């Protein structure tokens, strides 16, 4: 039966509308399909971010373990010391040894000796230079001999341990840690840190390097020249000690900066080759995180000695009052009660009280070093001098170290 024309026309029109609807639905489906590439890009970005974070974590882990291994290999232990973990005041003896410098190939002497203390409770620090020619009772000899000589010879005699014992006895202070740096490392260390900034006290030139008064950025070569120059400094070795403290302080501050992590490979190599210490990696991390505030209140200075000629050798003799002043300062920053010094150095000063005038600016020529058995009487008697001479000829006094 044939459909009515109008009905057929209605179905045709309805079919067109359905087709149009279908087309619109397909269009919507295609629109959804267009979003698929955008989702893919987002996923790629997210995956890249995850990979980047993973690589960063892996790099950080590699950095951590590389430095950890390098420093622990030097120190010989890994654990954080109880004193540092408890944030207690600490003392560190910094030794700059001259092995390999100027043709030396033996153990060498400690060209630089600086006793540093840090008190995180007070946020204070001290840095005291000890002149290398300071007369001292040298401790740590394997044969337990009696030596009175320049303090820098302690390192040659018994290494860092002897230097620590000698400084501890000289000032009556505990010395828990040491950092021994071969001076050959200074150039590489400063370069690895990207250089250091110091305040140059006056214009001078040394070893083909020029220095101008005021703030100056030093590379490794300039840093070595800066700390080694002595003869052109009007303050002599005391001026050099000041410049040594400047560079060490600048290195310490720069080494705590996160910006130096990119150079960690160089630092680890230098540290492993040229530095000896009894601080572990964990100790150093803890110090960097919990002791850095002490650098804001740093008191630096030196032991002021008096020039003397003893047995033809140039010596710096520190008066008892000077040793007592430094001892008091260091002990206070370690939260220790001050104590009256009573050691071999003060005994020698007492024995010489009638031989020298501490107010005399000229070098002493009458200061004597007495035998260990000498009584605390004035040192002008001929009998005492004879006893000293006899003892020296037997090798008991100076131990043959005076040269």
Percent of the chain at pLDDT > 70 equals: 67
C-alpha distance from residue 301 to each of 151, 198, 305, 327 (Å): 17, 17, 13, 12
Is 130 found in the same domain as 28? no
pLDDT digits (tens, 9 = 90+) for 29-82: 444 455 555 666 666 666 656 665 555 544 444 445 555 555 555 555 556 789
Question: If you average pLDDT over every residue of the chain, what do you get?
Answer: 77
> Among 75, 106, 125, which residue terminates a domain?
75
Regarding whether 283 and 239 lie in a shared domain, the answer is yes
The domain boundary, picked from 27, 50, 75, lies at: 75
pLDDT for the residue 122: 95
Alpha carbons within 13 angstroms on the beta-carbon side of residue 60 total 7
What is the Cα–Cα distance from 136 to 310, expressed in whole angstroms? 13
Tell me which residue range forms the domain holding 304: 76-400
Q: Are residues 331 and 343 in the same domain?
A: yes
287 and 194 within one domain: yes
Task: Kindly report the CATH number assigned to the domain that includes residue 134.
Answer: 3.40.630.190
pTM: 0.72
Residues 65 and 111 both lie in one domain: no
For residues 112 and 10, membership in a common domain is answered with no
Last residue of a domain, one of 28, 56, 75: 75
Q: How many Å from the N-terminal Cα to the C-terminal Cα in the chain? A: 138
Residues 166 and 70 in one domain: no
| Encoded tokens for 202 | 């006056």
- Asked if residue 388 and residue 287 are part of one domain, the reply reads yes
pLDDT digits (tens, 9 = 90+) for 246-279: 888 888 777 766 455 556 667 777 777 788 889 8
User: Same structural domain for residues 70 and 128?
Assistant: no
Domain count, the chain: 2
- Domain co-membership, 213 together with 357: yes
- For residues 91 and 234, membership in a common domain is answered with yes
Number of Cβ within 10 Å of residue 360's Cβ equals: 9
pLDDT in tens, 364-386: 999 999 998 887 654 443 333 33
Whether residues 178 and 292 share a domain: the answer is: yes
């Amino acid at each position: 039966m044939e459909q009515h024309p109008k009905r057929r026309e209605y179905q045709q029109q309805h079919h067109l509308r359905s087709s149009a609807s279908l087309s619109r639905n397909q269009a919507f489906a295609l629109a959804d399909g267009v979003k698929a590439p955008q989702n893919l890009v987002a996923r790629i970005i997210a995956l890249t971010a995850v990979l980047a974070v993973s690589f960063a974590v892996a790099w950080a882990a590699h950095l951590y373990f590389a430095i950890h291994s390098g420093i622990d290999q030097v120190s010989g232990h890994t654990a954080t010391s109880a004193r540092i973990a408890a944030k207690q005041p600490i003392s560190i003896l910094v030794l700059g040894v001259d092995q390999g410098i100027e043709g030396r190939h033996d153990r060498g002497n400690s060209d630089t000796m600086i006793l540093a203390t840090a008190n995180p409770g007070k946020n204070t620090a001290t840095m005291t230079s000890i002149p290398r020619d300071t007369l001292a009772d040298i401790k740590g000899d394997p044969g337990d001999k009696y030596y009175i000589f320049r303090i820098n010879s302690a390192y040659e005699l018994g290494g860092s341990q002897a230097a620590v014992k000698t400084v501890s006895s000289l000032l009556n202070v505990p010395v828990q840690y040491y950092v021994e740096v071969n001076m050959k490392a200074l150039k590489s260390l400063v370069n690895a840190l990207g250089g250091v900034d110091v305040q140059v006290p006056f214009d001078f030139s040394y070893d083909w390097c020029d220095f101008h008064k005021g703030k100056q950025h030093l590379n490794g070569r300039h840093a070595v020249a800066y700390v080694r120059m002595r003869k052109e400094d009007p303050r002599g070795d005391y001026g050099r000690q000041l410049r040594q403290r400047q560079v060490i302080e600048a290195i310490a501050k720069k080494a705590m900066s996160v910006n130096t992590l990119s150079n960690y490979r160089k630092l680890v190599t230098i540290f492993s080759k040229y530095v000896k210490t009894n601080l572990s990696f964990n100790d150093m991390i803890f110090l960097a995180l919990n002791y850095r505030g002490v650098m804001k209140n740093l008191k630096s200075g030196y032991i002021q000695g008096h020039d003397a000629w003893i047995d033809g050798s140039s010596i710096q003799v520190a008066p008892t009052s000077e040793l007592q002043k430094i001892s008091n300062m260091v002990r206070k920053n370690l939260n220790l009660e001050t104590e009256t010094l009573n050691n071999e150095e003060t005994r020698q000063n007492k024995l010489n009280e009638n031989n020298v005038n501490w107010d005399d600016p000229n070098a002493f020529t009458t200061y004597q070093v007495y035998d260990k058995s000498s009584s605390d009487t004035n040192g002008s008697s001929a009998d005492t001098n004879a006893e000293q001479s006899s003892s020296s000829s037997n090798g008991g006094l100076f131990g043959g170290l005076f040269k």
